[in-house]
A and B are shown apart, each in its own frame.
Chain A
Amino acid sequence: MEKNPSKGYVALLGWSLNAIEAAETFDRRYVVVAPDWAEDYCKKYDIPYIPWDYERLNDRSMEIAQTLQEMGVDVAIPLFEETVEWAGAINSVLMDNPRLLGQSMLMRDKSLMKRRAQLGGIRVGIFEEAHDREDVIRFLKRVNQTLLKLDGDPNDPIHFKAFDKAGCLGHRVIRTPDDVDAIPDDEFPALMESHLDGWEFAVEAWIHNGKIRFLNISEYVTLGYSVFVPASPELERYRDLIAKQIEKLIRTFDIEFGFVHPEYFVTSDDEMYFGEVAFRPPGFKVFELLERVYGFNAYQAMILVFDPKSTEEEITSFFPKEVVDAKRHAGCFGVYPRRRVVSKLEIPEETEDHPYFESHELTPPLEETVTKRTAFGTHWGLVYFAGEDPHQLRDLLKRQEELDFYI
């Protein structure tokens, strides 16, 4: 697409084809900052590119900020958890605002994030940091004592989340000391939280000039398996409450612009508990779902709210009206093979023949033996559904858990 030189120039931190595609078809200039394995591809397809190794921290780190500054880049956009603090560091240089680095560090550390939230008057569950397995055992015991459990009663679970892993990676549910033994060393340090019996959901919010410009509520059908947007009316009725929570978040973390992806619990007494917040696109392809529902490209929306040169009119005309403008509900289901040995991919007929079934991203199995899932694990691919009725969609997503896609 023809680039508009009077608009901002953005750097995309990390490699995401969908993001690049969105940038390519948007009127902002862009450059991809990605590891050097991406170089051949970018050359082949004329994608503007700067090589950068995010793994290696060294004294050349300032270089990337300077390079981008010299190129005239206005802002860096993080695409993955691992590039969030890079974006903060780079933007603090580009925008001459050191506070941005501190803000991004908060977003990367689940424990600091919670404390800051707590200080801002946001409700969080009981949490603690764990540096070794001892800490986990102690926390598990203490949480269950508070719940007045007797020895021998089944424990209430606790949640264990590695500090620097995104989404469901490194997220474990711990019930027994055996579960504790199964945690590998590299998942420490970690954050531990008490389990809340509530309704968990996620929010995607685009923020510009300190205000929410678009707020989506993603309803989990089963955590780690399925999600759909917009949420069902039962969850959408909390929209005002949720918006208030996000505004609190914006104030507490001092967010002027950008994109946040927090998770909350709402308990039976309508109380909102903050889980965590990420400063990058969500993992479970919610962006894709939003495009199917509202027709706008969520990556372009990110570029828009990050770009300091975006105008108020541009922003207002870009975003549709939440829920009202949704053409349908769309959801996706992450497939895990249910059998220990699989030989081929076969979409169940009942799935394929359902009028809500849209498409899938599953590929034939590469190996026959299925490795045992650790933590929440990684799904083998997503199946997309869309339709008018959120309840039918929810039941359909739930039903997929009982079906074999790999046999």
Chain B
Amino acid sequence: MDNETPAPDPADNRLPGLLQKFDEATRTLAQAPGFAKPAKLARVLDTARRVMLQPGGCAAIEERSQALEEAGLYHGSDWATPQILVPSLTTHSLKSPDMTTVVIESLSELRLLAVARGDYLHPLISQEQAHHYLSQVLAMNLALLFTGPSEAERETQGRLAKVPRLLLQHLASRIGYEHVIDRLIEEIWRILHQRPIQVDSVKQMITQIAICQVDPDIDLGTSGQGADRLVSSLYGPTQSCREDPGVAVFADRLRAMDSQALQLEATGFARAMHDTGLVSPYHAVLLRHLMGQGDHLIGEALGLSSTGRDCLLCYRELVKDLIREAVHPTTPQSVYGLALMLERGILYQPAVAPSLWRQLALPLSPCSRDRLFMAYGDLASPRALLLEGVLCMLGQPLGVGQGNNPTCQSARALSMWAFNDPDYLLQMVAWAARDDEIIMHFEGQPISSRESLSGVAGELPMDLDAVSLLVVPHLDRIYAEMGRRCVDRGGDPHRWVNPEFHGWWSGRGFRINVDVGTGLLVDLEDFLRHFYASYHPYYNGNQPLIHPQPAGIAVTDSAGRFIGWHAITILRVALDPEDCMRVYFFNPNNDSGQDWGDGVTVSTAGNGERFGEGSLPFEQFASRLYIFHHDPLERGELADVSAEELDRVIDHIRRSWGAERLPENQLQADPGPQRG
């Protein structure tokens, strides 16, 4: 039998010719001595790019993965150690305007595909690991799989934008769509469990799933079943809007319902909202409808407990005004923010309710309106957007994220104020949104955000929630200015900046275990004993942490390598359900669930965490800590921590960010576990 397909028209089929060039480029790279390899890379990568653009190109490269890696393509780069690659980073690298980054990332995925298929036995990563990794990559980049290039991508990437799409299509067809969807659902739940304020990207991913589910060309098999709750929470949480009828139809249906039917609707919506942290636009329609129906149903629709209900009844006029102004189908998350704010009982603090009245009437400066418009468009009024942001921040203080900006300090401050000092936060919002200026004091001297030149962030950040969008640029400049005022002091400026910037409750006592001049570790043991004495209930007289405290973390990657210094908030130290002492903390980085290497994986759920908290066992946390604050008047004895426990902590440091920071004499004094 003749199975040969007719050869395609040679003019259309450039693949064989390109592959010949590609193989030659690979051979040149393979033959070059180490120092000459970098000069050969450009030709390999550029040819690879052209191969991938051809039909069958990705498959051809997949076949050549091993030869390519052995030629030294990944030599000296992160891709040389595929076991530490982080799937979420591919969303950036695949959209990079830089050809090299896009292509080397793509080649690496194709290589892992060969590993996952069992065609390439890789010394560093197993077939299962590779498979797992690729499923995540697909999930993260689902949008690339199903949509054409956006205007922005076309502008930055040009023809290059086709490469990641062809790559993902190839991956999906080889790995199978069902793995993609299930992994994506898992991922969404993991993120939602941290209850972020910004849920746009989650909503996008859910929408992608919903599209896949109804597309007859995509066979999801048995997968994707866990998506129902997610899809329905956005598009049809209750019986009366199950089929996603549109807001107008739904409003008509509500008008025809009696109070018993409305009651059912209200509990249905509330359950969906509290299950996922996502709010359907229908929910906003319902709440507005219930305004004319009585407080009881509003409480039901918000899913309030007795605390929240009590608060609602005490401040019913304020709450109704907030609903009227903030809750619209285009600002549905305000419902969740409102519910959680009421649950927190913060309205009982005398200054909060009046501050919210001010917020309701607050005139926004033209500049604030512009920024809100630029970030969110005109689907809702700037005032409603900001109110939604305020409600969400007050309801979810641990849902603040810094976006893709180096402004962890400002995000941490906003979160801390929302958590601990809500009327102060509202004051900041008023100044920023109305006056375009915030003035803070540093050691008695006023610092205006207008006069300070520049902040930590080079450009104005845009990918933020509405409150951060307006306030962070001011805070960032003030924070940077405070730092500038400390430049000629010896030591780390956070000693003085943190208490002045965050609030009086930040301890004026300060410990750091890194010598600022040399970058080497100093007084490690004292530092740790002091940290135990200040924070560990077994060593501080069983005193729970009273106020959230700023702290500094040495962030490491999944291979334990130092990445950078990062600002977090220590929230509490307590026993988890397994009776392990854990530190619960807030990380302004958008996703707290991070693998810091050497077995240190930050948990965000399942170990007693509240929404938005990350947690680590006390020892592991101590091993990444480099700055903490304490009350200098309460400084007691250094904790009598056992030598074994301290050794475990120090070993963690030694194996990760401290590897190259140990002072030399210490290395000599302590031979350490060199053998074995």
Query: How far is the CB of B467 from the nearest CB of chain A, in Å?
Result: 36
Q: Which of B14, B17, B35, B43 contacts A359 (CB 8 A)?
A: B43
Q: Which residue from B35, B46, B50, B159 sits with its C-beta under 8 Å from A41?
A: B35
User: A25–B25 Cα gap in the complex (Å)?
Assistant: 17
Given contacts A346-B158, A355-B17, contact A21 B43 (CB under 8 A): no
Which B residue sits closest to A291, measured CB to CB?
A: B28
Which residues of B have CB within 8 Å of A37? none
Partner of B14, one of A17, A47, A355, A358: A355
Interface flags for B12-53 (1: CB within 8 Å of A; 0: not) read 001001000100010000011111100100110011001000
Q: Using Cβ atoms and an 8 Å threshold, which residues of chain B touch A360?
A: 46
Bound-complex Cα distance A21 to B47 (A): 22
Q: How far is the CB of B312 from chain A (nearest CB, A)?
A: 57
Cβ-defined contact, A358 with B35, below 8 A:
no
Does B42 contact A21, Cβ atoms closer than 8 Å? no
User: B43 and A24: CB pair below 8 A?
Assistant: no
B25 contacts across to A, CB distance below 8 A: 359
Please indicate which of the listed interface residues B25, B31, B46 has the most CB atoms of chain A within 10 Å of its own CB: B46
Indicate if the CB atoms of A359 and B42 lie closer than 8 Å: yes
Would you call B35 and A47 a contact (CB within 8 A)? yes
Q: How far is the CA of A44 from the CA of B34 in the complex (A)?
A: 11
Q: Which residues of chain A are within 8 angstroms of B158 by Cβ–Cβ distance?
A: 346
Measured in the bound complex, the distance between the Cα atoms of B17 and A359 in whole Å is 13
Contact residues on B (Cβ < 8 Å of other chain), bracket: 10 to 19
In chain B, positions 92-149 with a C-beta closer than 8 Å to chain A are none
Partner of A361, one of B21, B42, B47: B42
A interface footprint on B234-248 (CB within 8 Å = 1, 0 otherwise)? 000000000000000
Instruction: Indicate if the CB atoms of A358 and B21 lie closer than 8 Å.
Output: yes
A336-357 to B contact mask, C-beta < 8 Å, 1/0: 0000000000100100110100
Among B277-311, those with CB < 8 Å from A are: none
Interface size for chain A: under 10, 10 to 19, 20 to 34, or 35 or more residues? 10 to 19
Our pick among B17, B33, B47 for the contact of A25 (Cβ within 8 Å) is B33
**Cβ A359 vs Cβ B36 within 8 A:** no
B34 near A359: Cβ-Cβ < 8 Å: no
Query: Which residues in B have their C-beta under 8 angstroms from that of A44?
Result: 35
Residues of B within 8 A of A359 (CB): 21, 25, 42-43, 46-47
Q: Chain A's nearest CB lies how many Å from the CB of B33?
A: 5
B residues 561-583 with Cβ under 8 Å of A?
A: none
Residues in B with CB closer than 8 Å to A358 are 21
- The residue from B17, B33, B47 contacting A24, defined by CB atoms under 8 A apart: B33
Residue among B21, B31, B35, B50 with max Cβ neighbours from chain A (10 Å):
B35
For B11, give the chain A residue with the smallest CB separation.
Answer: A355
B28 vs chain A, min Cβ distance (A): 9
* Residues of chain B within 8 A of A18, CB atoms compared: 36, 39
Within the complex, the shortest CB–CB distance from B577 to chain A, in Å, comes to 53
Most B CB within 10 A of own CB, among A41, A47, A359:
A359
Instruction: Using A358-B21, A359-B25 as known contacts, say yes or no to A20 and B46 having CB atoms under 8 A apart.
Output: no
How far, in whole Å, are A358 and B18 apart by their CA atoms in the complex?
9
The reply to whether A352 and B50 contact each other, CB–CB distance below 8 Å, is: yes
Contacting residues, chain B, for A355 (C-beta < 8 A): 14, 17
Whether the Cβ atoms of B36 and A17 lie closer than 8 Å is: yes
With contacts A359-B42, A361-B42 taken as known, whether A21 is within 8 angstroms of B32 at the C-beta atoms is yes
Nearest Cβ distance between residue A8 and chain B, in whole angstroms? Answer: 20
Interface string of A34-49 (1 = CB under 8 A from B): 0000000100110100
Cross-chain contact B34 with A45 (CB below 8 angstroms): yes
B interface, by DSSP: helix, strand, loop or mixed? helix
Q: Which residues of B contact A349 (CB under 8 A)?
A: 159
Chain A residues 1 to 27 lying within 8 A of chain B, measured CB to CB, are 17-18, 20-21, 24-25
Q: With A and B bound together, what is the CA distance between A24 and B35 in angstroms?
A: 10
Q: Which residues of A contact B42 (CB under 8 A)?
A: 359, 361
| Residues on the B chain within 8 Å of A41, using CB | 35
Bound CA–CA A346/B46 (angstroms)? 12
> Contact between A45 and B35 (Cβ–Cβ < 8 Å)?
yes
Chain B residues lying within 8 Å of A45, measured Cβ to Cβ, are 33-35
| 0 or 1 for each of B157-168: is its CB under 8 Å from A? (1 = yes) | 011000000000
User: How far is B489's CA from A59's CA once the two chains are assembled, in angstroms?
Assistant: 52
Can you name the residue of chain B whose Cβ is closest to the Cβ of A346? Answer: B158
Question: Hey, which chain A residues are within 8 Å of B17, CB to CB?
Answer: 355
Partner of B31, one of A17, A25, A47, A361: A25
B39 and A17 contacting across the interface, CB-CB below 8 Å = yes
Measured CB to CB, the closest approach of chain B to A308, in angstroms, equals 26
CA distance in complex: A294, B289 (Å): 82
In the bound assembly, the distance between CA atoms of A361 and B34 in angstroms comes to 20
Measured between beta carbons, the chain A residues less than 8 angstroms from B34 are 45
A330 to chain B, nearest CB (A): 12
CB proximity of B55 to chain A, nearest CB, Å: 14
Expressed in whole angstroms, the Cα–Cα distance for A370 and B429 within the complex equals: 47
Interface centre among A20, A21, A353 (most CB of B within 10 A): A21
Known: A359-B25, A359-B42, A361-B42. A21 touches B50 (CB 8 A): no
A18 and B31 CA atoms in complex are apart in Å by: 13
Q: Which residues of A contact B159 (CB under 8 A)?
A: 349
Interface residues of B in 341-380 (CB under 8 A from A): none
**Contact B33 A21, beta carbon cutoff 8 Å:** yes
Q: How far is the CB of B585 from chain A (nearest CB, A)?
A: 41
Contact A24 B46, CB 8 Å, known A355-B17, A359-B25:
no
Smallest Cβ-Cβ distance to A347: which chain B residue: B46
Closest A residue to B42 by beta carbon equals A361
- Distance to closest chain B CB from A235 (angstroms): 26
Closest to B18 in A: A355
8 A Cβ contacts from A98-155 to B: none
Which of chain B's residues have a CB closer than 8 A to the CB of A346? 158
**A16, chain B: closest CB distance, angstroms:** 11
Which A residues touch B35, using CB under 8 A? 17, 20-21, 24, 41, 44-45, 47
Which of A24, A47, A346, A349 is packed against the most chain B CB atoms within 10 Å? Answer: A24
Q: Considering only CB atoms, which chain B residue lies closest to A352 in the complex?
A: B50
CA distance A349 to B21 in the complex (A): 18
Contacts of A345-384 to chain B: CB distance below 8 A: 346, 349, 352-353, 355, 358-361
Query: Given A346-B158, A355-B17, A361-B42, do A20 and B36 touch, yes or no (CB 8 Å)?
Result: yes
Chain A residues, CB < 8 A from B31: 25
- Distance, CA A349 to CA B160, complexed state (A): 12
Instruction: Knowing A346-B158, A358-B21, A361-B42 are in contact, say whether A24-B36 is a contact too (CB < 8 A).
Output: yes
Q: How far is the CA of A150 from the CA of B38 in the complex (A)?
A: 58
**How many angstroms from the CA of A360 to the CA of B34 in the assembled complex?**
21
Complex: how many Å from CA A350 to CA B42?
20
- Nearest residue (CB) in B for A44 is B35
| A329 to B: closest C-beta gap in Å | 15
**Residues from chain A with Cβ under 8 Å of B14 in the complex:** 353, 355
Closest A residue to B37 by beta carbon equals A21
Q: List 7 A-B contacts (CB under 8 A).
A: A18-B36, A21-B33, A25-B33, A355-B14, A359-B42, A359-B43, A360-B46
Going nearest first, the 6 A-B pairs with the smallest beta carbon separation are A45-B35, A21-B36, A359-B43, A24-B33, A355-B17, A359-B46
Having A25-B32, A359-B42, A359-B47, one finds 12 other A-B pairs with CB under 8 Å, namely: A20-B36, A21-B33, A21-B35, A24-B33, A24-B36, A41-B35, A45-B33, A47-B35, A353-B14, A355-B17, A359-B43, A359-B46
